[in-house]
């Protein structure tokens, strides 16, 4: 299977989607949700409602099958009638283990919500690339996939069977990916960054090459040829979309891979350097310090669990060699 840059980034940031609750409602009602500390998503399974997000001038109407995503730490109100005094969501879901509730007769609307966990160190790579909020209309080309996923999520949560917890987690992950795909295919104006670059089909071949073999000494001509563009046109288009030049993007991606390896493994710095295309440890260390402000070893020590900080890298390599 060809390299998939979006999957690369979601894996790097340990993106994990979870459905955490929901409610049904009838009559006149309004609920205020606090500003989320993670990316939040929600879907309207039945009926319709209004969503008013702090900082936005106009409320947004959500219909059955519509999906919303909130990446900014803003509170918001979900309501049948925005003139109603909103009830604090925390009071509705405050019972021990309580993840769902009913307002009124519960006949008019069904809502499910969840959030996306991201790695604390690398998570901003995803969170900062998204707009403050996204609404995916049930009438989009992704609607069929959304309808199926929402139906399955509701079934898994209402009729708990063996494996339901894991099934719900995988369905929520698919829902998040579909939201990202739908937004990429939309006509929405995006800020420069990796998300916008991946949304540009003309640039995809270059991104696939760089993510597929980040250690290779890619030349601008090779990347431009893969996109069937002249060197100048490709460089200009890539910079406009990504906000950086192609080879700068490659260098930054290499450093993110290095950060992950330094945090999550005891692989020697020299080996990490070679794995991402540096011919010497010193060249890698200088590049890493320019980007992060820290040497690779200082970064590793600062990001190690407390009980591992006394383990010297050479000792770790020696121990690994003995195991092999």
Which CATH number is 172's domain given?
2.60.120.280
Q: Same domain for 36 and 145?
A: yes
Residue pair 67/40 in contact (Cβ under 8 Å)? The answer is no
Is pLDDT above 70 for 7?
yes
Selected residue with higher pLDDT from 50 and 313: 50
Residue 146 is encoded by which pair of tokens? 């959304």
Q: Same domain for 110 and 130?
A: yes
Rounded Cα gap, residues 242 and 245, in angstroms: 8
pLDDT tens by residue, 249-303: 999 999 999 999 999 999 999 999 999 999 999 999 999 999 999 999 999 999 8
Query: Looking at the 3D structure of the chain, how many domains does it have?
Result: 3
Which residues lie closer than 8 Å to 168 by C-beta, 6 or more apart? 18, 19, 153, 156, 157
Is pLDDT above 60 for 311?
no
Least trusted range by pLDDT, from 69-73, 167-171, 205-209, 230-234: 167-171
Rg (CA), the chain: 23
Average pLDDT over residues 115-137: 91
From residue 71, how far is each of 35, 40, 79, 214 by CA, in Å? 10, 6, 20, 29
Nearest to 16 by CA among 195, 179, 170: 170
Q: Same domain for 81 and 201?
A: no
- The neighbour count for residue 222, using CB atoms within 10 Å, is 13
Q: Same domain for 50 and 127?
A: yes
Average pLDDT over residues 207-233: 96
Question: What range does the domain containing 123 cover?
Answer: 5-185
CATH code of the domain covering residue 272: 1.10.10.60
Q: Same domain for 164 and 265?
A: no
pLDDT tens by residue, 142-173: 777 888 888 888 888 777 778 888 888 899 99
Query: Using 50, 70 and 90 to split pLDDT, how confident is the model at 2?
Result: low
State the average pLDDT for the chain. 88
Is pLDDT above 80 for 23?
yes
Residue pair 258/272 in contact (Cβ under 8 Å)? The answer is yes
Nearest to 135 by CA among 215, 258, 53: 53
Q: Same domain for 32 and 70?
A: yes
Q: Same domain for 159 and 37?
A: yes
- What local confidence, expressed as pLDDT, does residue 148 receive? 87
Query: Using 50, 70 and 90 to split pLDDT, how confident is the model at 306?
Result: low
Of 209, 228, 244, the one marking the end of a domain is 244
pLDDT tens by residue, 44-95: 999 999 999 999 999 999 999 999 999 999 999 999 999 999 999 988 876 5
Q: Same domain for 18 and 111?
A: yes
Average pLDDT over residues 313-321: 38
Q: Same domain for 202 and 257?
A: no
Q: Same domain for 261 and 307?
A: yes
Q: Same domain for 179 and 267?
A: no
Of 168, 185, 202, the one marking the end of a domain is 185
Query: Using 50, 70 and 90 to split pLDDT, how confident is the model at 319?
Result: very low
Three-state SS string over 205-269 comes to HHHHHHHHCCCCCCCHHHHHHHCCCCHHHHHHHHHHHHCCCHHHHHHHHHHHHHHHHHHHCCCCH
Is pLDDT above 90 for 121?
no
Q: Same domain for 203 and 257?
A: no
Residue pair 80/13 in contact (Cβ under 8 Å)? The answer is no
Burial class of residue 44 (count of CB atoms within 10 Å of its CB; 0-12, 13-18, 19+):
buried
Nearest to 302 by CA among 257, 258, 262, 256: 262
């Amino acid at each position: 299977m060809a390299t998939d840059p979006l999957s690369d980034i979601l894996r790097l940031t340990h993106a994990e989607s979870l459905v955490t609750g929901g409610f049904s409602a009838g009559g006149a009602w309004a609920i205020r949700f606090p500003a989320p500390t993670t990316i939040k998503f929600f879907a309207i399974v039945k009926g319709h409602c209004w969503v008013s997000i702090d900082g936005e001038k106009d409320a947004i109407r959500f219909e059955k099958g519509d999906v919303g995503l909130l990446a900014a730490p803003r509170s918001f109100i979900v309501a049948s009638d925005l003139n109603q005094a909103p009830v604090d969501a925390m009071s509705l879901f405050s019972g021990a283990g309580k993840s769902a509730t009913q307002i009124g007769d519960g006949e008019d609307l069904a809502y499910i919500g969840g959030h996306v966990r991201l790695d604390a160190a690398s998570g901003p790579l995803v969170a900062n690339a998204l707009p403050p909020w996204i609404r995916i209309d049930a009438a989009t080309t992704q609607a069929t996939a959304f309808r199926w996923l929402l139906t399955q999520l509701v079934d898994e949560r209402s009729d708990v069977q063996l494996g339901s917890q894991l099934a719900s987690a995988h369905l929520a992950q698919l829902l998040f990916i579909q939201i990202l795909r739908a937004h990429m295919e939309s006509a929405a104006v995006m800020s420069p960054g990796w998300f916008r670059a991946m949304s540009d089909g003309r640039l995809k071949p270059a991104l696939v090459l760089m993510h597929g073999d980040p250690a290779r000494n890619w030349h601008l001509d090779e990347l431009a040829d893969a996109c069937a563009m002249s060197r100048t046109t490709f460089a200009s288009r890539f910079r406009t979309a990504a906000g950086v030049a192609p080879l700068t993007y490659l260098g930054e991606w290499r450093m993110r891979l290095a950060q992950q390896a330094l945090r999550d493994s005891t692989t020697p710095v020299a080996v990490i350097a070679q794995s991402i295309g540096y011919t010497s440890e010193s060249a890698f260390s200088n590049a890493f310090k320019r980007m992060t402000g820290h040497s690779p070893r200082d970064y590793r020590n600062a990001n190690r669990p407390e009980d591992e900080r006394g383990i010297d890298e050479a000792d770790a390599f020696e121990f690994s060699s003995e195991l092999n």
